[in-house]
Amino acid sequence: MRLALGQIDTTVGDFAGNRERILSAWRRAEEAGADVLLVPELALCGYPPRDLLDRPSFQRDAAALLSELARRSRKTALIAGTFLPNPSETGKPLHNAAVVLREGEVAAVARKCLLPTYDVFDEGRHFEPAREPLLVRLAGTRVGVTICEDLWNDKDFFRTRRLYRDDPGENLVKRGAELIVNVSASPFSEGKPRLRRLMLARLAKDGRVPVAYLNLVGGNDELVFDGSSMVLDARGRVGARCRLFEEDFAVVDVEAGRVRPVAVTVPSDGPDDAGGEPLESLRRALVLGIRDYAVKCGFGTAVVGLSGGIDSALVGALAVDALGAPNVTGLALPSPYSSEGSVADARELARNLGIRFEVVPIGPLFAAAKATLGPLFAGRAEDVAEENVQARLRGLLLMAVSNKFGPLLLTTGNKSELAVGYCTLYGDMAGGLAPISDLPKMRVYALSRHVNARAGRALIPEATLTKPPSAELRPGQTDQDSLPPYELLDAVLEGLIEKGLSVEAAARSAGADPALVASIARQVDRAEYKRRQAAPGLKVSTKAFGSGRRIPIAQRARP
């Protein structure tokens, strides 16, 4: 069988745009003499559609596109993800499906068996699971068709508690599948591409069957999809793969358990990370997430508040990579407590990045705000209230620029700050996208140094990398006046948030005082109301704040 991989970037609800991407890949597959083309899970409507699935117009548009593509099909079969009505009188109204289009009709339908309802996934909200996966004959080959999660339940690979009783991959092997294909929309997180490869290799090797995996690429809201599609032979070896974080197309011949590349853009024995560097994969994921969020939401430009600190510096550098220097503006908004060095560092960063830079002091506004509030605050010393006024004045001005000229305001808070509430609602949290909200502070430093190493020069000024972090909202302030050292804080937060450890276990894991860890855990819970009002962030860890972590605001549970 000659198999083509169409690794495309779809947009939710853009049926016309998704159609063109599918047809373009289909034409290339036909020109290459492919028997079958794979495109991603829910490719017709885009992933994840969420509650758009409830809209009659959305359902009609998906059905119309499916009918058109079915009529268009000829010799090269297309296996494409979409959704279909559930014909049963009971159960959820829809199926997550992969249709096999061939010779002018829908030749077969695969319905997803395993529906994830954890982390960012909530497919049980709309979809009814199938009882078993599809086995269909294509080009003289018995092909098992699965959809994403269907292959994430191998009992030999996942030694911890399994979420499902059934294993669709094993089911297909037992039924005599000669090739297993999987159309997927699997989001990126650090280490995920390698995990997928190992999982697929185990299935291929144990089942002695080639596996073709086609994953979505692109950003949709908080999720970034890395692509990394691949075909493995019956010994679990990668025979061909697609590029990370880019649309790509590949053609392979699969015969007698072997895989022979016909047209590929990257070597099959390449690393799982971009260039073999995890930090480069992280950088590219964030750049793709920013670019697709901006473009798909109708933004061509961005504005960033540049404080002279490491967080805003990294966001500025990522924004330039995503949108281009002419499309990014940096604003410095110094207060009476900002150091001259901070403004100088922000100016140097902007010069290094080649972006427009403006200085808009907030001193006069801050003085006016204090004078206005003076009668109400009489007899009380200045405290966090006045600090937050400064942050909110910056947010006001940045949003005014966004409203007046139309750029997307990128917020600059990191995961460590967001976790413990070291951020100001309607101040530094104001904006449309929070690109680094899933990066702990120490990861921010590591990625910033990688950005400089990749550029071969100090794009991010060395002073920004080495000076003590500070919000500069009062004289002599540093972050460590209010927080533990970031190395310790990040280790504690990793235990509490990403690993889900108890306070005691997180303290042991981080080598921290249990009383300190308990205090941090309480801060994390108390800050939930802030995170609920935060700009959407880009998920790059196994457990990000956002739709994948649902904690009540009004609650009194023990940490």
Q: Which residues are catalytic?
A: 41, 112, 148
Four-point Cα dihedral 144, 148, 152, 153, nearest 10: -50
Identify the H or E element spanning 377. helix 363-377
Q: What is d(CA 315, CA 322) in angstroms, rounded to the nearest whole number?
A: 10
Task: Give residues with Cβ within 8 angstroms of 321, minimum separation 6.
Answer: 283, 287
Task: Give residues with Cβ within 8 angstroms of 280, minimum separation 6.
Answer: 273, 274, 450, 454
SS3 300: coil
Could you please report the per-residue DSSP string of 430-474?
-SSBBTTTTS-HHHHHHHHHHHHHHHTS-SS-HHHHHSPP---SS
- Contact in structure between 169 and 180 (CB atoms under 8 Å): yes
Q: What is d(CA 94, CA 391) in angstroms, rounded to the nearest whole number?
A: 46
Q: What is d(CA 416, CA 390) in angstroms, rounded to the nearest whole number?
A: 21
Q: With helix as H, strand as E and coil as C, how does 6-59 read?
A: EECCCCCCCHHHHHHHHHHHHHHHHHCCCCEEECCCCCCCCCCCHHHHHCHHHH
CB atoms within 10 A of CB 300: 12
Angle at 433 between CA 432 and CA 435, to 5 degrees: 160
Q: What is d(CA 99, CA 81) in angstroms, rounded to the nearest whole number?
A: 6
